Structure 1
Amino acid sequence: MMRNYLLCLFYLFSVTVFSQNKLEVFFDFNKDVPNELSQIKINQWVLEHKNAEIIRVLGYCDSVDDSEYNKELAMRRINTMITFFKDNAVKISDKVELKAFGKDFDYSKNQSENRKVVVFYTEVEVIIPKDVTVESDFQLTQLSTLVAEEKSTLASKFDKAKKGDLIRINNISFYFNSEKVMQQSEPILEELYQIMVANPKLRIEIHGHICCNPNPNDTKLSYRRALVILKYLTKKGIPVNRMNFKGYGSNDPIYRLPERNEKERAANRRVEILIVAKQ
């Protein structure tokens, strides 16, 4: 009864506001991939801005090289960010504006400040009066919680599996456009290691999959991500002859591309373990 009352208060007294904001992403000299600090920043941004919609993306370069080359580099930086947003299920407006600048803008005297992409986005904000209490059901589920749930069930999945089975592992998240595992996901890899230790006859093949990318030949990232899991296990002492790895890109989706919603994208963006041998 009290719960229903609180829900009514939430909908009656909350105010929905559409705000326009911007995100600045910085790049190293002559690179079209965000620098390390910006990679951390944009991954955190994705977690904190579930209701964002990208409406405008502007690309810039420093004053080195000619305007034509700089404009081409600025556009590559824009495309890198668009790919990132698609891979992370960030909504992009159908009328999104993409504009690259060569040398036709006001430069900062600090060259590193010119190597950037500026992303403009709108966001739905629900403003709740301070005297209205909202239960935790309204809070966004954090990655660490999902990882804990996945870890708690992983050993059971392997216990029940037989040779030839595929075990899907969700919530192994990586930093932007890289094979570096985010810190919040490391407990899952540790649990996989413990499973390999507890089952010395177990041999596996690690499969990497991505979502959203319609190019069937673009398998490099999924290949590198599967490899980094294998390297994690070998570094901790698991013999390499007990493992193999493959990267499938988006060639083996659970849901047909383009995915219709985040649930389908999340399902396609996964790691799977093929049981090669088990005793």
Structure 2
Amino acid sequence: MKQICVFLLFLPFFGFSQQQFEVFFDFNAAVPTQVSLTKLNQWIKENKWAEITKVLGYCDSVDDSQYNKDLAMRRINSVLDLLKNDSITISDNVELKPFGKDFKYSKKQEENRKVTFFYTLKLKEKAVVATEEKEISFSNSSELVTKEKSELADKFKKAKKGDLIRINNINFYFNSEKIMEQSEPLLLELLQILYDNPKLKIAIHGHICCNPNGMDTKLSYRRALVIFKYLTKFEIEVNRLSYKGFGSNDPIYKVPERNEAERKANRRVEILIVDK
């Protein structure tokens, strides 16, 4: 029998003083830099109880004030989308303010290309349920993601048109298209690969496990679509991407699988190199 430890933390509802976080952007870009995406992802993991109260967007001194103001607003919306997708609370009265040229500039232009958001941390009554097995599983999963992330760019570099690249550790919640948080570094790496290779065109293939009905491709389709939407949200052109759900029609291991390792291998994402 698994030993389950349940910790109930009864904490009064109260707010801390307002804090802030900065997200930086490359020149003329509405998508955060890779470094900032990684830092923001870590902040999200550590601040699930945050509530966003104000978001300010900035640009460097290049171009006219109205263009910069529009770009600053797109940067604000980009950051808000990231926060909302990870269920960070946005205040009903959140203040959104883009700046064109009407703010105090830093002498370093890269420091002006940013979004600053302000937040408070609130604690509520919550229950934390942990098992030794779950902790070990999560740790192992994170290590696998880190290892695969470090190898992914090299796989794409070596791949030829028509090759399939299997991504094993983009994992989804059971019977859902919601991606598990620990898998996000792989999505960020895929996004960066597409940024770095502007001629690269791909097809996203979704696969599931366990279902012997080959006609049922809906879940795999939705999972591939989620990845497609993630990439286009960060301004990867639609004409560089396509997606398809294969259901359980192309399993690595015969369905029904014999164990969890085989099921995990079958529910995967593959990337077809369409052009590069």
Decide whether aligned partners of structure 1 residues 181 and 69 sit closer, same or farther in structure 2, where only a CA change above 3 A counts.
Answer: closer
The aligned counterpart of 2:190 is: 180
In structure 1, list runs of 5 or more residues that go unmatched.
Answer: 127-134, 152-165, 183-194, 196-203, 212-218, 225-243, 247-271
Q: Which of 102, 105, 115 is equivalent to 2:103?
A: 105
Shift of 1:221: 3.0
For 1:143 and 1:113, locate their aligned partners in 2 and report how far apart those are by CA, in whole Å. Answer: 40
Q: Is the 8 A contact 1:209 1:222 kept in 2?
A: no
Structure index of larger Rg? 1
Shift of 1:87: 1.1
Q: Which of 227, 230, 243 is equivalent to 1:221?
A: 230
The aligned counterpart of 2:92 is: 94
For 2:32 and 2:25, locate their aligned partners in 1 and report how far apart those are by CA, in whole Å. Answer: 5
Please state whether the residue corresponding to 2:92 is helix, strand or coil: strand
Alignment of 1:106-125 (within 5 A): 106-124=104-122
Write the deviation string for residues 20-65 of structure 1: whole angstroms up to 9, x where unpaired: 1100000011101111110110000110001001110000000011
The alignment-based identity, stated in percent, is 43
Write the deviation string for residues 100-134 of structure 1: whole angstroms up to 9, x where unpaired: 000000011111110000000111258xxxxxxxx
For 1:43 and 1:142, locate their aligned partners in 2 and report how far apart those are by CA, in whole Å. Answer: 20
The aligned counterpart of 1:189 is: none
Shift of 1:273: 6.4
The aligned counterpart of 2:67 is: 69
Q: Is the 8 A contact 2:34 2:188 kept in 1?
A: no
Q: Which of 14, 18, 22 is equivalent to 1:24?
A: 22
Decide whether aligned partners of structure 1 residues 54 and 15 sit closer, same or farther in structure 2, where only a CA change above 3 A counts.
Answer: closer
For 2:104 and 2:122, locate their aligned partners in 1 and report how far apart those are by CA, in whole Å. Answer: 31
For 1:145 and 1:175, locate their aligned partners in 2 and report how far apart those are by CA, in whole Å. Answer: 14
Q: Which of 228, 243, 247 is equivalent to 1:274?
A: 247
Alignment of 1:199-238 (within 5 A): 207-210=223-226, 219-221=228-230
Alignment of 1:137-152 (within 5 A): 145=138, 148=141
Q: Which residue identity does 2:226 align to in structure 1? A: I
For 2:232 and 2:73, locate their aligned partners in 1 and report how far apart those are by CA, in whole Å. Answer: 26
Shift of 1:94: 0.7
Write the deviation string for residues 52-86 of structure 1: whole angstroms up to 9, x where unpaired: 01110000000011101110110010010111111
Q: Which residue identity does 1:276 align to in structure 2? A: N
For 1:39 and 1:50, locate their aligned partners in 2 and report how far apart those are by CA, in whole Å. Answer: 16
Q: Which residue identity does 1:208 align to in structure 2? A: A
Shift of 1:223: 8.4
The aligned counterpart of 2:155 is: none
Shift of 1:142: 7.6
For 2:105 and 2:78, locate their aligned partners in 1 and report how far apart those are by CA, in whole Å. Answer: 22
For 2:56 and 2:97, locate their aligned partners in 1 and report how far apart those are by CA, in whole Å. Answer: 5
The aligned counterpart of 1:230 is: none
In structure 2, list runs of 5 or more residues that go unmatched.
Answer: 145-173, 193-208, 210-216, 234-241, 255-276
Q: Is the 8 A contact 1:61 1:115 kept in 2?
A: yes
The aligned counterpart of 2:167 is: none
For 1:29 and 1:173, locate their aligned partners in 2 and report how far apart those are by CA, in whole Å. Answer: 28
The aligned counterpart of 1:264 is: none
The aligned counterpart of 1:237 is: none
Q: CA RMSD in A?
A: 4.6
For 1:222 and 1:173, locate their aligned partners in 2 and report how far apart those are by CA, in whole Å. Answer: 15
Shift of 1:277: 4.8
Decide whether aligned partners of structure 1 residues 123 and 273 sit closer, same or farther in structure 2, where only a CA change above 3 A counts.
Answer: farther
Q: Is the 8 A contact 1:39 1:175 kept in 2?
A: no
Q: Which residue identity does 1:22 align to in structure 2? A: Q
